[in-house]
């Protein structure tokens, strides 16, 4: 029984052994990396502060309204690109649907021309599906005729 108790205490003592060297090393590495990045950022701020002329800053601030107009035009352009992409996707989907409904293939004109001669005609007449045009946006809604002064 005494041997078992010694073995049990030895096993329990192994559970309590903690190796903090690896954890401390990873924390030290993270701190060193952060300090390096802070030094780089500090150097960058020093370079920028030395190169910025107060006259340039006031010039930029005086053109603030022009910049806001430019930003607004860029937003409208992004909206236009999104609308064009959506319209093209819609038309692409319509073309794919129409090709499927009309049994249009890319096999070539000769095969398509000869195909009716070799296939049986159905007793029902086929009806042509109607085309519903999707809404198309107008760029006039987004952009005015007046151009900003430069």
What CA–CA distance (Å, rounded) separates 37 from 73?
Answer: 37
The string of pLDDT tens digits covering residues 11-67 is 777 766 666 677 778 888 889 889 999 999 998 888 877 777 777 778 878 888 888
| pTM of the model as a whole | 0.43
Whether residues 139 and 71 fall in one domain? yes
Residue 139 pLDDT: 72
Pick from 32-36, 69-73, 122-126, 135-139: least confident: 122-126
Whether residues 89 and 113 fall in one domain? yes
Three-state secondary-structure class, residue 108: coil
For residue 149, is pLDDT > 70? no
**Residue 71 burial class via C-beta count within 10 angstroms: exposed 0-12, middle 13-18, buried 19 and up:** exposed
Whether residues 76 and 133 fall in one domain? yes
Residue 143 pLDDT: 66
Residues with Cβ within 8 Å of 80's Cβ and at least 6 positions away in sequence, in order, are 139, 142, 143
Residue 135 pLDDT: 75
In a domain, 90, yes or no: yes
Specify the residue for token string 């959506």: 86
The string of pLDDT tens digits covering residues 92-123 is 888 888 777 776 655 555 665 666 666 665 55
Residue 108 pLDDT: 57
Residue 73, both tokens: 């035009």
In a domain, 2, yes or no: no
Domain around 112: 66-118+129-144
Residue 40 pLDDT: 92
Whether residues 44 and 15 fall in one domain? yes
In a domain, 123, yes or no: no
Three-state secondary-structure class, residue 68: helix
* End-to-end CA, the chain: 96
């Amino acid at each position: 029984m005494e041997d078992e108790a010694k073995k049990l205490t030895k096993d329990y003592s192994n559970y309590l052994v903690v190796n903090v060297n690896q954890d401390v090393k990873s924390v030290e590495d993270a701190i060193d990396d952060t300090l390096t990045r802070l030094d780089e950022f500090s150097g960058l701020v020093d370079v920028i502060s030395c190169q910025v002329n107060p006259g340039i800053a006031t010039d930029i601030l005086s053109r603030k309204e022009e910049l806001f107009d430019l930003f607004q035009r860029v937003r409208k352009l992004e909206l236009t690109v999104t609308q064009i992409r959506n319209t093209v996707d819609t038309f692409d989907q319509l073309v794919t649907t129409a090709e499927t409904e009309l049994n249009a293939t890319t096999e070539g004109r000769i095969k398509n021309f000869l195909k009716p001669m070799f296939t049986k005609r159905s007793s029902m007449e086929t009806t042509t599906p109607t085309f519903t045009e999707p809404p198309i946006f107008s760029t006039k809604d987004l952009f005015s005729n007046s151009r900003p002064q430069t």
